[in-house]
Amino acid sequence: MTHAHRRARRTAAAALALALTGAATATAVAGPASAAPPITRPAPGQGVMSYVVNTDATPAAVARVRVAVARAGGSTVVDYPEIGVVVARSADADFRDDVLAGHFSSLVDSVGPTRTVPVLEGVPGRWRGPGRGPQRPEMRELLTGGASAPGGAAALGVVDATAVDEPVEAVQWDMAAIGADRANAIEPGSPDVVVGVLDDGIDDSHPDLAGQVDRSLSGDCTGGGRFDGSEGAYLPFPGGYHGTHVAGTIGAKRDGQGVVGVAPGVTLAAVKVVSAEGFIYPESAICGFMHAAEEGFDVTNNSYYVDPWEFWCDDEVSQAAAREAVTRAVAYAESQGVVSAAAAGNSAYDLADKTTSSSSPNDGSGAIADRDVRGCVDMPTELPGVVTVSATQQDGARSTFSNYGEGVIDVAAPGTRVISTIPQSILPSGYAALSGTSMASPHVAGVLALLKTTHPDATPAELRALLEEQATDVPCPATPYAGQPCTGSPEDNGYFGEGLVDALAAVTVG
């Protein structure tokens, strides 16, 4: 299926550059950094590093910054005049300093790296790093063996996985829990509503996903942040399954077999932001959100956090520029009518009371122990306008792995042992039960798609308000998990936010 009209729908709006510089982020004050990482520089012969340069959101400013990049010994990979962001590469260790000292330095808001190791994408035979994405060998073993994954943030937010032989709609406890089984019998969602799955691709050869993905809207953002819409670019790298599972939860079709998604009538678009090495770098996420804005997507699902930092701090030069660039991209997408849902994360961490983190950077340079992350954010889930989703289990309790936090969690959705689609090249049955906030977020994306169907003129802010108003209140448990306090009211608390999302209400409540 194609939606050629959607690009034209956004053309007039896209012509107006959004003045995001300095206004897109509600910045919290970070505490003193006890082990602030220095700016990453390539050592002689180390290789090419990736950077973002932020400037005014005008074509003229971006053009001048491109010149500044070239004069500093770099090359521009892609630029976005709409948000004043330039993605660049350089092997020069002094690149950042030279850009800031150059002729157009007054136009540069910030410049910094997007990772801590040289670029690997597209370089055959290079070290793949430890990774945490769906291509890790142990994740394939996990699926075929039915074991549990170690740790809390493995493999794009999957914490356990079990192969399923013959799933039927009746065993989808998650759909019954949010009323989706009844909702999509009334209103399956409009094919005019497009949900972008920003993930590791979608295998749309799966019987439950055949015909559900608009290939003309799909593509790959992992080539340095430049969108590739060529044939098949949206397909998963070998071993990838995460986006296919997410896609099934959102929009697997109702055909009397297999599984059914929350909104089986909507259109899916696969936007690959996960590299073959299993990382989601800032430039790929930026590309994903900007593509969603350009093509007029209605909803995006984001079941990941942006690598290599679990929490991005705006007082550290190794992170500030990339944090700002991703923030601008998310804000621009919202300004173009895109509402986004994102996984809260799987570390059982209180996002409302951050202290330290020892899990990043995770791209091979070595994690920093006890890094002070007060005032820092998990991207994209903690960015303004993004719906932050915690996970629940079948008995209604918060999933033990799910992050939480009063004033941070917006809503909750099923995330433990969720049965959905898996490429048959990995599992012949084509189905697996996975756990993670990665599995919770697509339920919310599906409900947002149903709300967009029933309220086609609603803005992203209005859709978020409807989602929260219609959610079923879930009070804090009488006995919260040890060391994980649940604070707030029955109507809005740190475990469940405004409550469990309600797909049935989305199609029956005016």
- Quickly count: other Cβ atoms within 10 Å of residue 16's Cβ: 10
User: Which phi and psi (to 5°) does residue 330 adopt?
Assistant: -65, -45
Rounded CA gap, 314 and 318, in Å? 9
Is 242 annotated as catalytic? Answer: yes
The one catalytic residue among 410, 438, 443, 502: 438
Paired sense of beta strands 110-113 and 49-54, if any: antiparallel
Q: How far from 448 is each of 232, 335, 409, 439, CA to CA, in Å?
A: 27, 17, 16, 15
Is 208 annotated as catalytic? Answer: no
422 near 165, Cβ under 8 Å? no
The pair of structure tokens assigned to 503 is 């797909």
The one catalytic residue among 98, 160, 218, 242: 242
The one catalytic residue among 56, 79, 199, 200: 199
Burial class (CB in 10 A: 0-12, 13-18, 19+), 2: exposed
Buried b / exposed e along 371-395 (16+ C-beta atoms within 10 A): bbbbbbbbbbbbbebbbbbbbbbee
Sign of torsion over alpha carbons 456, 466, 376, 131: negative
Residue 63, amino acid? A
Q: How far from 109 is each of 20, 157, 175, 329, 358, CA to CA, in Å?
A: 12, 33, 46, 15, 29
Rounded CA gap, 55 and 48, in Å? 22
Q: Annotated active-site positions, please?
A: 199, 242, 438
